[in-house]
Chains A and B, each alone.
Chain A
Amino acid sequence: MVFSSVVFLYIFLPIMLLIYFIVPRKFKNLIMIIASFIFFAWGEIRYIPIMLLLAVMDFWCGNKINEYWKDKKKKRIYLWIDVGVNLLILFFFKYADFIISSINGVTGLNIPLLNIPLPIGVSFNTFQSLSYIIDVYRGTVVCEKSFYNYLTYTTLFPQIIAGPIVRYETVDEELVDKKISLDNFSLGMRRFIVGLGKKVLIANNVGAMWNVIETGNYSEMTVLLSWIGIISFALQIYFDFSGYSDMAIGLAKIFGMEFDENFNYPYISKSITEFWRRWHITLSSWFRDYIYIPLGGNRKGLPKQIRNILIVWALTRGMAWSIMELCIMGSIFWSNPNSRKNIYVKGIRKNAKNI
């Protein structure tokens, strides 16, 4: 299901909100889980069993890491089990056909392609699971003790399609105690409506212009048309993406949860570095904190840095995405990664207190 549809706005959301606010506090997560599954099943039912199994595994590994907190070896094994399976599934969906066609090309065999479309939201879901398990391992968060709460976190429908990537530490308290209030409801509603307007009124309209270019429905490309086209595309992709994030953040607020901001007026940037600090913030900070810095960032010399960039490159498929990631990496290279350095120290202390 998508936010900008009549079904979502006039059937799904009103019914869900009504039930959500009527039921007692301890059942609110249950309503969120059911709603998320309906939302997801609308177009993507194949992925639900995998999602459930992954949730069970993340939860179990998280608890095991906590159990073996002082045993570094065992702790690491559970981390790698979880990270490995998560990446395997992501790679399967992203690369299976690519690998098969490469094998066919090299060996002359004729293995049929699987033609599995990428399940919607699989990347964001994986990134979120990885952030959870790595944070538990690092000690920046305490593992979730209730599977019910963990499932709520991992299926949260507002962010599942296009982000923002919600880290466990952002919502851990709100999984138990939601900040439901009239103020949050009206603020969230406004935020959602602003996002809806960005998507339907701006993105879709300039998108129609870009569609003319993309589909080649013009007789002759001229300088003026090429500029109108690319400016339209730039506006479409910004308002679609940030509109979606606004709607997600607004919905979360209505439910009593606080998500991180995802866009901060990227087009006013005065450098590419600044642009990436303002564009899809949760994605670029995810890559910085979970891939780039753990691999040594830019402090271990150029060869390692190139290796790190290539690893990120492998995580994403298609030229377009690779280029985007390269830009992110480039911008991180020029920026100062030390700002989050003390997270390890702080986190370990936080966990130690809770054992």
Chain B
Amino acid sequence: MPKIFRHIYTILLVLISWVIFAFEDLGKIGTYLGTMFNLNGSIFANSEAIYYFKNYVIIIIVGIICSIPFTKLREKIKNTEKNKKKEIIFGTIGSVACVLIVIVCTASLVNNSFNPFLYFRF
């Protein structure tokens, strides 16, 4: 199988496993999978679905991008470490990014936004 098909097939299997993992109830699992693959006559989208899509599409894309290692790009950045000037630039970008992450995270935590704890089952 070409790489891209193997990849799609794996992601599909993983997503189906997550449905099973998330619901733990055969009835609900069946309904949900049925909707996903359009087997039980659900409509494709309504205004509610489009509302959620608009609200979450950006964070989902950010998440997907952050799930990819970009090995070649990383190596390129690493190789520039011999170059003093570029090393300083990348180092500074990294540090500034870290400070920004801390500030935004703190703001989010202080605001008591959604912050679930998932490890009660372990």
29 pairs of residues in contact across A and B, judged by CB atoms under 8 Å? A6-B110, A10-B106, A118-B120, A161-B119, A190-B98, A197-B101, A201-B104, A202-B62, A204-B113, A205-B59, A206-B56, A206-B63, A209-B52, A209-B60, A221-B35, A222-B44, A223-B43, A223-B44, A225-B45, A226-B35, A226-B42, A230-B19, A234-B18, A267-B67, A272-B14, A319-B24, A321-B121, A323-B20, A324-B17
Q: What 8 A-B pairs are tightest by C-beta distance, nearest first?
A: A235-B63, A224-B45, A197-B101, A225-B49, A270-B6, A224-B49, A200-B105, A267-B67
CB < 8 Å A-B pair total: 198
Residues of B within 8 A of A323 (CB): 17, 20-21
Residues of B within 8 A of A270 (CB): 3, 6-7, 10
* Bound-state Cα–Cα, A354 to B73, Å: 46
Partner of B44, one of A122, A190, A224: A224
Residues of A within 8 A of B3 (CB): 270
Q: Which residues 64-110 of B have a CB within 8 angstroms of A?
A: 64, 66-69, 94, 98, 101-102, 104-106, 108-110
A232 near B69 with CB under 8 A, answer no
Query: Given A193-B102, A200-B115, does the pair A221, B67 have CB atoms closer than 8 Å?
Result: no
Q: Which of A214, A267, A269, A271 has the most CB of B within 10 A?
A: A267
B8-24 CB mask vs A (1 if < 8 Å, else 0) is 00110111011111101
* Bound-state Cα–Cα, A227 to B59, Å: 15
Residues of B within 8 A of A266 (CB): 14
Distance between B69 CB and nearest chain A CB, rounded to angstroms: 5
Number of interface residues of A (CB under 8 A): 75
A200 near B109 with CB under 8 A, answer yes
Q: Which residues 33-49 of B have a CB within 8 angstroms of A?
A: 35-36, 38, 42-46, 48-49
A238 near B109 with CB under 8 A, answer no
Partner of A123, one of B101, B104, B122: B122
Query: Given A121-B122, A207-B114, A237-B18, does the pair A318, B48 have CB atoms closer than 8 Å?
Result: no
* Bound-state Cα–Cα, A72 to B82, Å: 56
Q: Kindly state whether residue B27 has any CB partner on chain A within 8 Å.
A: no
Residue of B nearest to A195 (CB): B101
Q: Kindly state whether residue A327 has any CB partner on chain B within 8 Å.
A: yes
Residues of B within 8 A of A244 (CB): 119
B67 near A265 with CB under 8 A, answer yes
Query: Given A231-B15, A271-B6, A320-B21, does the pair A118, B59 have CB atoms closer than 8 Å?
Result: no
Residues of B within 8 A of A277 (CB): none
Residues of B within 8 A of A117 (CB): 120
Residues of B within 8 A of A210 (CB): 22
A222 near B69 with CB under 8 A, answer no
B119 near A120 with CB under 8 A, answer yes
Q: Kindly state whether residue A218 has any CB partner on chain B within 8 Å.
A: yes
